[in-house]
Each structure stands twice: as structure tokens, then as C-alpha cells.
Amino acid sequence: MRFLSEDFVSKWGAAPRSALGTGSGLVVIKVDGGPDGKISVTLELSEGLIVSAYLGSGRGRDLELTMPYELAVELFLRQADPAAEYMKGRLKMSGDMKLWLDLLPSWRKLFTDGGEPQLAGETSF
């Protein structure tokens, strides 16, 4: 399964995981420079849980994250700290700062706890 393909996004979105904070809203992730060019992934969060994930740019987004493809791979593989990458300017954020600050600690915990993500063995880059 190819990273950021429709199949990947569907399986990744449906995978069991801890809540990413407590916030709710629409998060659009824009990834540039990948094998298929620019890709957008939309996540619908409800009380920190991903209830829907799909390719495309959702309307009415609350939060938008923008990053290069290489960083998206590193974040997925838990090889990069999202807070550090945000401070370096590789990960850009616009929109609801409250939702971002609610999401970030849980996302950082995935990085600091380490371990391989569930779909890593099935994913090609």
C-alpha cells in the first residue's frame, strides 16, 4: 500500500488509537512534493478521535497543516517531533490555535513514546 494513497488514508483513519486531545473540528493536511504531487488529506475529529479520514481538502476546515512529503513520511514513522518541526518552519499551521494546541501534545507523545506505527510494515514510500 502506497503512503498517502486512498487505501492508506482509509486504513490509517480507521486504525484504533488513543484520542488526540479533546478537540473537535476539521483538519486539512496539505503535503507537497510527493510522488503524486500535492495531496490533501482531511481528518474529522470529534473529542480528539478521528471519526473520518479521506483524500481531498474538506470545506470549512478549522485547522490546516502544510508540510513537505519527506516530513510527512518522518512524522508517520515517528522519526520527527511535530513541535520541533513546527518551530523550524517545516510544519506550518494556520487556523484554530486552540485546536492545534490541544492536538499537539498527544501527537508529540506518539513521537516520544516511539515504536513503529501499525501500518508501517504494509506501507511503501
Contacts of 71 (CB under 8 A, 6+ apart): 80, 85, 90, 91
In tens, the pLDDT along 95-117 reads 999 999 999 999 999 888 878 88
How far are the Cα atoms of 2, 18, 66, 84, 121 from residue 40, in angstroms, in the given order? 15, 23, 9, 22, 23
In tens, the pLDDT along 15-59 reads 988 899 999 999 999 999 999 899 999 999 999 999 999 999 999
Which CATH fold would you assign to the domain 6-122? Nonspecific Lipid-transfer Protein; Chain A (3.30.1050)
On whether the CB atoms of residues 63 and 28 are closer than 8 A, the answer is yes
DSSP 36: T
Q: Which pTM was predicted?
A: 0.93
On whether the CB atoms of residues 38 and 68 are closer than 8 A, the answer is no
